[in-house]
Structure 1
C-alpha cells in the first residue's frame, strides 16, 4: 500500500475521546483501549533538529520513544541519564538521532502526562485504509490535547477525506511549535538554567562535565536565533551559556587537569570574543529611546543620525557573526568541544575530581562570598570603574555557583539567599551599561573627527557631547546605588545565613575559615 509522509498532527484542547462514536464517511473506526496515563519527558537535540523536522523524542521511565513524520516510530530501552546522545544505550532511537543531526547534546524541554490508543479505519471489505495512533496529552497546568500519528495507509486516499476534514474542524496543526508547545509548556528556546540533581553521590568531576555539557547544548540551542538574527536575546543567552562554562572551568579548581582547563578556557574565550562586538552594539541600541530622552529636544536630531549609523554597523556585525556560526571552522570546533565533554574519559582529572559535588560547590560558594566581602567596597563612591567591573565579574561567578546548587535547596530558602546577590548584580549591571555607553560614544566622536567639518557632523558631535554629560550624571547616581546594595550583601545577618547554608554543608574541610 502506498505510504506518504505526513506530519504528526496535534489537536489542542480536546481528548481523543471526542472521536469515539463518530463516522468517517465509508470508513468504520475500531478503537483499542487507552493505556493509563504516565509522565514523560520531552527532549530535543541542541540544534533543534527534532523541532525543525516536526518530530518528538519522549523519555519514559524505562525507554526512549522517537516519533517522526510518516509514522516512523523508534523505541529502545534506557533511562534519562544526562545531556548527550552518547550516554544512551545502543539502539534504533540512538541510531536515528545520530543520523538526524551532527549535534549530540540533548536538552529536557518539559514534562507532561500522556496515554495512547490505536485506531484502525476499515473499508467496506474490512481492510485497513488508515492505521492511527492517538496520544492524549495533559500539561501540568491543565492544558490538554492529542497527537495523531499516521502509522499505516495513504493520506491522499479519497476515502480518508472525511476523517481529515473532521481533524481540521477540531483545529488540527502540526506537532511542533505553537499549540503543542503551549499545551505542554515546552519552549522553542531552552531553559537558561538546566536543572541538575546535585547530591554528594556525584563527584565534582561528574558534575563539572555535566554542567559544561548542558550549557554547551544551551549555547547551540540559541545558534539558530543568532544566525537568523531573530532577536537580541538569542545572542545574550548564547553568551550566558558560554560564560557559565568558563565559570565552571575557573571555579571548580583542581577538579580537571590544569592543562585541559587552560586549553578549554582558551577555546571558549575565543568563541566569546567573536560575539562581543555585536552584543555591545545591541546593548547600546536597546536603550536608544531612553537615552534620547536624556537630552534637550534641540539635540535629538543629531542623536537620531548617530543611532542610524550605529544601526548600520550593527547589521554588518550581525552578518559577520552569522557567517562565522555557519562556517566549517566553527562547526568543527563545536563538534570537537562536544566530543571532549561527551562523558567519555577524555579530560584529565585533578586532585579534587573525586570530592563530593554538593559539598565541594557549597564550600566554593562560602569561600567566594567571604572573598567578595573582603574586597571592601563599602561605599562604592570612589572606586575606579575598572574595580567595579571586576566586582561585577566576581559577583557573577558567585551567582553561577548558586545556580548550580539551586536544586538542593527549598525554593523559598534559595530565593532568599540569592536575592542580595541578584540586587547587587543588577546595580552593578546598570552602572556598567552606562560606562559601556560612554566609552562607545567617546570612540564614536573620534571617528567623527576624521570626517570633514560639515554642519551635520558638527550637529551630531554636539549632541553626543550633551548625551555623554547626561550619562555621566546617571552613572554617578547608579554608583551610589551600588553602595547600598553592597551593604545589604555583606550585612551581618546575610553572612550568618550564608554561613549556615553553605559553610556547614561541606562534608570535607577544604576551605577553613
Structure 2
C-alpha cells in the first residue's frame, strides 16, 4: 500500500507574508484559499511522558460543563490522526479505559498502561489553509499557516513562532517534494526544530518528555563516598517531591508507587552507606523515612490488589465471576479509607517536620566517620559484593521446607542489591553490571510473585467476615475461596520455580564476576591505579 509522507513544519518568519508564500508556490501550480479556522487544543500526556516517548501526540478540546465526554485526537509520526470519544470520570484526567472505542482504547492502554493522561499545555491557533492544485484543479499538496498562542493558567498567554505546515496528498509525492524545494529555496524557510507541542511546553515551563523518576546522577569512581551518597539522596528527594502532588490528588497509582520507590531507595542508601554518614542524623532520617513507608503502605497494597484484579479473577468461571462485585466494592472502599488516612498524614505536621529535617540533613556538610575519605567505588563495590554473598548463602539454605519468611527476607535483600546496582552501577562498565542485573531480575520476579500471592491471600482471607455480612456476600465468599485457592497454587508454582531462577544468580560464573568486579581485590587494584 502506498504511504503518505509525514507533514513537514517550517518556521514562518513574521516578515514573510501569505502573499510571499503564494508567490513562491504559484508559478506552475494554482494556490487556492481553503478557509480559515481556529483551533483550541489541550495536549495530553502521562506525568512521565509515555505518549511523547512513543512518538505520538495526543490532544483534546477544552471541556465544557454541558458535555461530560471529550474528543481525543491521536497523531502518529506520519501525521495520521484518529479521533475517539472518552468519558472521563474526573475533569483533571483521562484514563485509557475511559476511551469508548475498543481498538483505540487497547492501543492507548498499550502505551500508557494505568497512568492517567493529564493536561500539559493549552494552545490556541488561527490556521489559514491553502490547497496547491495542478492544471486539472486537483489538490496535490496542502499547506497550512498557523499562528499559535500558549494559554497560560492565570498568567495570560505567550505567542509562539508562526508555522507553515506542508501536508502530502496520496499519489502526489513529486508535488509534495517540489513544494518543499520552493519553500526552502525561494523563501529560505527553515524546518521547525521541535514539534509545536514541545515548543508550547517549553514556553509554559512544562518538562518536554515528562518527569522521569530515574536517578540520573553522574558519579566519579574517586568521588568521596559521603558526597556521592548526598548527590543520590538529593535526587531521590526531588523525585519524592515531584510525585507528592499527584499522590495527594490521587491522579493515578504510579505517583504513589514512584514516591515509595524513591523512599525505599533512599533508605537503602542510608543503610548501605551508614559508615560514611553522620550516625545520629542518619538514624533519625532512617526512622522518618521508615514512617513514611509505613503510612503509605496500605494504600499501595490495595492499589496492587485492584490492579491485579483482572488476572486474579480470570480463573473463576463466568457463573461464579458474577458473584464477585461485592468483593471488588469492598476492596475499593478499603482503598478509599486508606487513601484518606494516608493523605491526612502526608499533609500533616509530622510529615512536614520530617521532610524539612531531611532536607536540612541533605543540605548540611555531610561529614562522615572513619571512612569519610574512601572513594565511592570502593564503598559501593564492597557493599554490592557483601549483599550478593549474603543472598547466595541465604538462598542456598532455602528448600521445600523453608518458611515463607525465608523467601521474603531474600526478596528484601534482592531489592537492596538491585538499588545498589541501579544507583551506583554506573561506576563500572555496563557489560559487567548488566549480566548481574539480569539474573537478579529473574530471581526477583519469582520472589515477587511468591510474596504478592502471600500478601493478597492473607488480606483477602481477612476480608471474609466483613464480606459475608454484605448483601450478596455469601455467594461472593464462595467465589473468593476459589480465588484464594488459585493464589495459593500460583504461590506454590513460584516456590517450585525458585531453584531454577536462583541457580544462574548463584552460579560460579556470576560469583566470579562479582568477586572480580566488586570484591576487595578489585577495590585494591582500582585504588592502586589511581
TM class by smaller structure? 0.5 to 0.7
Report the alpha carbon displacement of residue 429 of structure 1 after superposing the two structures with TM. Answer: 0.8
1:191–1:180 distance in 2 versus 1, CA, 3 Å = farther
Aligned to 1:67: none
What is the distance in 2 between the residues matched to 1:164 and 1:177? Answer: 11
**In the alignment, is the contact (CA less than 8 A) between 2:10 and 2:164 conserved in 1?**
no
Greater relative CO (CA pairs within 8 A, separation 6+): 1
Counterpart of 1:209? 230
Find the counterpart in structure 2 of residue 367 from structure 1: 386
- In structure 2, the residue matched to 1:313 is 334
Aligned equivalent of 1:466, options 466, 476, 482:
482
Equivalent residue, structure 1, for 2:501:
485
- Name which of 314, 325, 328 aligns with 2:346: 325
Summarize the Cα distance change of 1:358–1:464 in structure 2 as closer, same or farther, 3 Å threshold: same
> 5 Å matches for 1:95-494?
166=162, 175=199, 177=201, 186-200=208-222, 202-342=223-363, 344-345=364-365, 347-377=366-396, 380-448=399-467, 451=469, 456-494=472-510
The farther-off stretch of 352-361 and 400-409 is 400-409
Evaluate the alpha carbon distance shift between residue 381 and residue 20 of structure 1 in structure 2; reply closer, same or farther with a 3 A threshold: farther
Q: CA deviation at 1:280?
A: 0.5
Equivalent residues of 1:195, 1:407 under 8 A apart: no
2:73 — aligned with what?
A: none
Single out whichever of 421-430 and 326-335 deviates more from structure 2.
Answer: 326-335
Per-residue deviation, residues 144-181 of structure 1 (Å, max 9, x unmatched): xxx999xxxxx99xxx9xx8794598985585649999
Instruction: Report the CA distance shift for 1:20/1:179 in structure 2 as closer, same or farther (over 3 A).
Output: closer
Task: Tell me the matched-pair count.
Answer: 363
Is the contact made by 1:380 and 1:479 (CA closer than 8 Å) also made in structure 2?
Answer: no
Runs of 4+ in 1 over 6 A off after TM superposition: 168-171, 178-182
Q: Is the 8 A contact 1:253 1:352 kept in 2?
A: no
Change (3 A) 1:492 1:340: same
Once the two structures are superposed, what CA deviation does each residue of 1:39-83 show, in whole Å capped at 9, x if it has no partner? xxxxxxxxxxxxx9xxxxxxxxxxxxxxxxxxxxxxxxxxxxxxx
Question: Aligned match of 1:500 in 495, 508, 516?
Answer: 516
Shift of 1:365: 0.8
Q: Distance in 1 between matches of 2:289 and 2:314?
A: 38
* Backbone CA RMSD of aligned residues: 3.6
Local SS of the residue matching 1:506: helix
Shift of 1:240: 0.5
Separation of aligned partners in 2, 1:408 and 1:509: 11
Taking the aligned partners of 2:205 and 2:503, their CA distance within structure 1 comes to 43
- Structure 1 residues 463 and 257, CA, compared in 2 at 3 Å: closer, same or farther? same
TM norm structure 1 = 0.63
Specify the alignment match of 1:122 in structure 2.
Answer: none
Query: Cα offset for 1:241?
Result: 0.3
Return the alpha-carbon distance in structure 2 between the equivalents of residues 416 and 391 of structure 1: 19
| Alpha-carbon shift at residue 23 of structure 1 (Å) | 3.9
Q: 1:375 aligns to what SS in structure 2?
A: helix
Give the 3 Å change call, closer, same or farther, for CA 360–374 of structure 1 in structure 2.
same
SS at structure 2 position matched to 1:22: coil
TM-score by length of 2: 0.62
Rate the CA distance shift 1:507–1:278 in 2: closer, same or farther, 3 A.
same
Write out aligned runs for 1:25-44 (5 A).
none
CA distance in 1, matches of 2:457, 2:362: 40
Deviations 1:479-498 (A, max 9, x none): 11121111111011111111
Give the secondary-structure state (helix, strand or coil) at the position aligned to 1:507: helix
Instruction: Using the TM superposition, give the Cα deviation of residue 509 of structure 1 relative to its aligned residue in structure 2, in angstroms.
Output: 11
| Contact 1:223/1:234 (<8 A) preserved | yes
* 1:264 partner SS: helix
Distance 1:192 1:260, change over 3 A: same
Post-superposition shift, 1:329?
4.1
Shift of 1:323: 3.7
Match of 1:65 in 2: none
Question: Per-residue deviation at 1:232?
Answer: 1.1
Checking the alignment, whether the CA contact within 8 Å between 2:278 and 2:367 is kept in structure 1 is yes
**Distance in structure 2 (CA, Å) of the matches to 1:296 and 1:24:** 66
Q: What's 2:41 paired with?
A: none
Q: Gaps (5+ residues) in structure 1?
A: 1-11, 26-51, 53-146, 150-154
**SS state of the match for residue 524, structure 2?**
coil
Q: What's the CA shift for 1:230?
A: 1.6
* Distance verdict in 2 for CA 1:321–1:168, change over 3 Å: farther
Aligned partners of 2:411 and 2:444 also within 8 Å: yes
